[in-house]
Amino acid sequence: MKSKQYILALDQGTTSSRTLVVDHSGKVISVSQKEFKQIYPKPGWVEHDPMDIWSSQSTTEAEALSQADLSHKDIAAIGITNQRETTVVWDKRTGKPVYNAIVWQDRRTADYCAKLKEQGLEPKFSQKTGLRLDPYFAGTKLRWILENVEGAREDAEAGHLLFGTVDSWLVWKLTGGSVHVTDASNASRTLLYNISEQDWDDEILKTFNIPRVMLPEVKGSSEVYGHTSENVPIAGIAGDQHAALFGQACFDVGMAKNTYGTGCFMLMLTGDKPVFSKNNLLCTIAWKIGDKTEYALEGSIFMGGAVVQWLRDEMKMVGSAEEASWLASSVPDANGMYLVPAFAGLGAPHWDPYARGTCVGMTRGTNRAHFCRAAIEAIAYQSADLAESMKKDSGIEIKELRVDGGASRSEPLMQFQSDLLDVHVIRPENVETTAMGAAYLAGLAVGFWESKQDIIDRWKAGAHFKPERPAEEMKALAAGWDRAVERAKAWELPEEES
């Protein structure tokens, strides 16, 4: 009998929406994926149409069920994982967005963040939220909408407008507009949430002039929030990187994962108390299950696999990511060249929104294989910077790094990462860790799986990369990378100085 033997995982990403059907053994039965339009109104601005997000996600949900020859009656619960920080504001009377979703990559609030820093406010924000004053996070994007969309502030103050990250928008749509919630992991990415007190912070809301009535109720990451029109419980929510940490079964303090997606995101579980970073990382809520909240240190890199996409789409050097990986492995090194992909500024641990992409060390002998090698090495160098900062903050040596995401399929990248970190890098058999994390959180909430041990039992190591190159050689290469990064910093001047 099929009934209630499956979990539906909605994986709403930056460039596409996906739905996976997962069975009790943790096997993916079907997958449907649909890309949607990226909108670039001005340099540094990135938007999505929230209705595109919804239609692409609902289309893939129907297709994944159809592929598996299932209906909603066979689904025990729905889990949601989402691109984080992307900001949606909609009118609850009409269900229509008042503006496009402002995407996490968007830099339009860089100057506003700089002004708040000049006022000396960053330490207070960091202590309350674990984050930094950077346009990456949702709070300044929400403020921008209220300040710049005609009538938005008046409607918001009258209680007509709702704010949410993408998870909130999807839950609201799935429940026919009856449930306005987010989970603790997504709330902790807004720059509005006090992660120690676990509540929206009134002082920050006042600074940004954001009406509290707009904000969703903050719930745990694994509980029933509401039901769809087909009466399926929505029972798990986590931001994509938190879901990946959960899907990688990183449940012990000090365990770490790195996701090599559009950007790169390294998280280390630090336990039930926040560890505030002294090395320019973020302190974030990993997840909240029942009464227990667990925290993580996080480093965010804006350009990970996107560097290879740039080589393919803009530079036309390769036709595919696979070709880039093959070319990179055809040369022993980048021939002294470093590519710093600061196309959208630099994330952790530098936090320089005015940095720009830089390529140094080219000679007459530099060819496209060296470019591919330098692009792949840049992803590893940026990740190594994060690992070093984590070690300083936590006092914990990373013993192994669990990896996932599209670029984790690149053998030369994974080997170089292992050499650079001097640790074992492990890619699991099932690299769908983000969607699996959402599935597991939903399944735990409804008793589909009984415990975290069930998840540990289902995690299986796939490829294993061990350090091969001498540590001194890697230190010399890392020193060259540091020099290259310094040349990329503060390239673009703030508007008032340009």
Which amino acid does the sequence have at 275? Answer: V
Residue 381 labelled as part of a binding site: no
The rounded distance, in Å, linking the Cα atoms of 13 and 402 is 21
Pairing of strands 400-404, 256-260: parallel
Contact (CB, 8 A) for 425 and 403? yes
Residue 347 labelled as part of a binding site: no
The rounded distance, in Å, linking the Cα atoms of 451 and 331 is 46
Q: What are phi and psi of 401, to 5 degrees?
A: -120, 120
The alpha carbon torsion through 313, 166, 445, 200 (nearest 10 deg) reads 130
The rounded distance, in Å, linking the Cα atoms of 241 and 281 is 15
Residue 175 labelled as part of a binding site: no
Q: Classify 321 as helix, strand or coil.
A: helix
Residue 305 labelled as part of a binding site: yes
Q: Classify 64 as helix, strand or coil.
A: helix
Residue 260 labelled as part of a binding site: no
Residue 262 labelled as part of a binding site: yes
Bridge partner list, 39: 47
DSSP state string for 151-216 = THHHHHHTT-EEEEEHHHHHHHHHTTT---EEEHHHHTTSS-EETTTTEE-HHHHHHHT--GGGSP
Counting Cα atoms < 13 Å in the Cβ hemisphere of 6 gives 23
User: Which residue, among 302, 258, 267, has the nearest Cα to 136 in the 3D structure?
Assistant: 302
Residue 12 labelled as part of a binding site: no
Residue 84 labelled as part of a binding site: yes
Residue 240 labelled as part of a binding site: yes
Q: Which residues are annotated as a binding site for ATP?
A: 14-16, 262, 305, 309, 406
Q: Which residues are annotated as a binding site for glycerol?
A: 84-85, 136, 240-241
Q: Which residues are annotated as a binding site for ADP?
A: 14, 18, 262, 305, 406
Q: Which residues are annotated as a binding site for sn-glycerol 3-phosphate?
A: 14, 84-85, 136, 240
Q: Which residues are annotated as a binding site?
A: 14-16, 18, 84-85, 136, 240-241, 262, 305, 309, 406
